[in-house]
Structure formats: structure tokens, C-alpha cells
Amino acid sequence: MKFLFSFIVVAFIITSCSGTKSFTEADKQAALSVSNFLDEKQFEFEAEWANPLVSNELNQLAPQLLPQGSNGSRVNLVGTPNYLRIQNDTVSADLPYFGIMRFPRNPSNTNNAGIYFNGVPKDYKQSFNEKKQQTTISFDIKDETENYQVFITVYSNKSARVSINSSHRNTISYDGDITEVSSNDEAL
């Protein structure tokens, strides 16, 4: 009897603690609609937050250099112009960078520390995860001196997370939203 009771309690705990999230039909339709919207390759991401890889250096400089409400692991970008734009087969980005650069682009130009690229990406992949109801995009792109691996996760409410790995810098991610870009708009 004691064994049976213990077994039932353990089974109940295991099933009630499962991490599976159930989605409503409206959630599923919204996620699928966003995935179809992304298929058009006419959208722009604007970051509201930058999430640099935490380092002692950045934590020490954070109070003096970062905007109000920011710290060494989360930087407020509201009011700071930035974008990652996908239009047809071209990807362009102008994103601020916070973190450690191993090989600066031009050591004499300290104003050019952001992440900039414009071109045709390699290995562009887009997939929809039905279980998580989110779309994932990944691609590789390079500029004159750096190679980037970019990973974008877009949720059903059009919020997104962009993570960028670089050949010359520590990894950084950004949280923000995506919006539609008309085919008549030109890349910056």
C-alpha cells in the first residue's frame, strides 16, 4: 500500500511538472501567419535591448558609459537607431555593439565599433517549430574583415531575438520587434 501511494505521488509530480506549453488555436494561427510573413523576406528587426556577453570590463564601465536603466548584461537601445533588414536576397544591418572586440575594424576610428554588413547571405535557412510556435532563421554573412553567424528567433507576436556570433568579437544578442518593409523601401 505504501509503495502504491508513493508511486502515485511520484507519477503525479512528474506529470504536473512537465514543461510542455499548450497553445490555443489562435496562438497557432498567429505563429503560422508570422512564419508566412517572414517567407516574403521583406522585414526589418529593430532592437530595444542589447544583451552582450557579460565581462568584468563591461561591468566596470557600465555605470559611466551605458544609458540609464542599463547594466553590463542588458543595454537599453530605445531611441538608438538600429536595424537588421532582410529584403529579398539582401541582408543589411547597423547594430550597436557592446563587448570585447579582438580585432577592431580600424583601430584609429573608434566611432566604427558597431556591427555593419550589407550583402547576400550564405546558407540562409528558415524553419517553423510547431512545438514552440516560433520561426527560426539562420545565415552566414561577411563584410570586408569579419564573418558573422546570425540566428533570429521570431515569436507569434512579432517580437524577436537576434543572436550574432562574430569572428572578431564576443557573442551578442538583441531583443526587439520585426515590422514589414515594403519592396519600395531602400536599404540604408
Measured between alpha carbons, how far is 114 from 139 in angstroms, rounded to an integer?
19
Cβ partners under 8 Å of residue 81, min gap 6: 94
Other CB atoms within a 10 A radius of the CB of residue 82 amount to 18
CATH no. for residue 97? 2.40.128.410
Residue 83 is predicted with a pLDDT of: 96
Residue 102 is predicted with a pLDDT of: 77
Residue 4 is predicted with a pLDDT of: 54
Measured between alpha carbons, how far is 92 from 145 in angstroms, rounded to an integer?
16
The answer to whether residue 169 is domain-embedded is yes
The answer to whether residue 103 is domain-embedded is yes
Task: Label residues 34-72 b or e (16+ Cβ within 10 Å = b).
Answer: bbebbeebbbbbbbebbbbeeeeebeeebeeebeeebeb
Q: What is the mean pLDDT of the chain?
A: 81
Residue 82 is predicted with a pLDDT of: 96
pLDDT tens digits for 127-144? 999 889 899 999 999 988
The answer to whether residue 87 is domain-embedded is yes
The answer to whether residue 67 is domain-embedded is yes
Residue 188 is predicted with a pLDDT of: 44
Helix ranges, the chain (H): 2-16, 25-39, 56-65
Task: Label residues 119-154 b or e (16+ Cβ within 10 Å = b).
Answer: eebeebebebeeeebbbbbbbebeeeebebebbbbb
More confident residue, 37 or 179: 179
Quote the domain boundaries for residue 121.
Answer: 23-180
Domain count along the chain: 1
pLDDT of 53 above 60: yes
